[in-house]
């Protein structure tokens, strides 16, 4: 079921408030960012026809490590994300807000 955000005013702020109240908002935001980055890397691999084996070799790592990088539930270092981004012709940008 897909919810149209415009049909439920303030849904986003209500969810943010709830996540703040239970103290998990930062954790959810980090996971969401990781999911987006993993998805972008996978999309770039597909666009460039880079297999997981080739990607791992170009990163100088194992295929198992690449699988961990692409798993949104796993923690990875910024340097690993940056190496993956370079292999697919992208750059990783991190900022504090």
The domain locations on the chain are: 28-97
Task: Report the pLDDT value the prediction gives residue 32, as an integer from 0 to 100.
Answer: 85
pLDDT band per the 50, 70, 90 thresholds, residue 3: low
According to CATH, what is the number of the domain 28-97?
A: 1.10.260.40
Task: Report the pLDDT value the prediction gives residue 95, as an integer from 0 to 100.
Answer: 81
Of the candidates 82, 40, 90, the one whose C-alpha atom is nearest the C-alpha of residue 61 is 82
Q: Which H, E and C letters describe the chain, residue by residue?
A: CCCCHHHCCCHHHHHHHHHHHCCCHHHHHHHHHHHHHHHHHHHHHHHCCCCHHHHHHHHCCCHHHHHHHHCCCCCCCHHHHHHHHHHCCCCCCCCCC
- Tens-place pLDDT, residues 10-58: 556 777 777 778 877 788 888 888 889 999 999 999 999 999 999 999 9
On the 0-12 / 13-18 / 19+ scale of CB atoms within 10 A, 2 is exposed
């Amino acid at each position: 079921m897909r919810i149209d955000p415009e049909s439920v005013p303030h849904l986003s702020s209500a969810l943010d408030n709830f996540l703040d109240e239970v103290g998990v908002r930062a954790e959810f935001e980090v996971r969401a960012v990781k999911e987006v980055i993993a998805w972008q890397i996978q999309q770039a691999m597909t666009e460039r026809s880079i297999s997981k084996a080739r990607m791992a070799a170009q990163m100088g790592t194992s295929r198992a490590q690449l699988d961990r990088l692409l798993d949104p539930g796993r923690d990875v270092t910024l340097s690993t994300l940056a190496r993956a981004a370079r292999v697919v012709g992208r750059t990783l940008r991190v900022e504090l807000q």
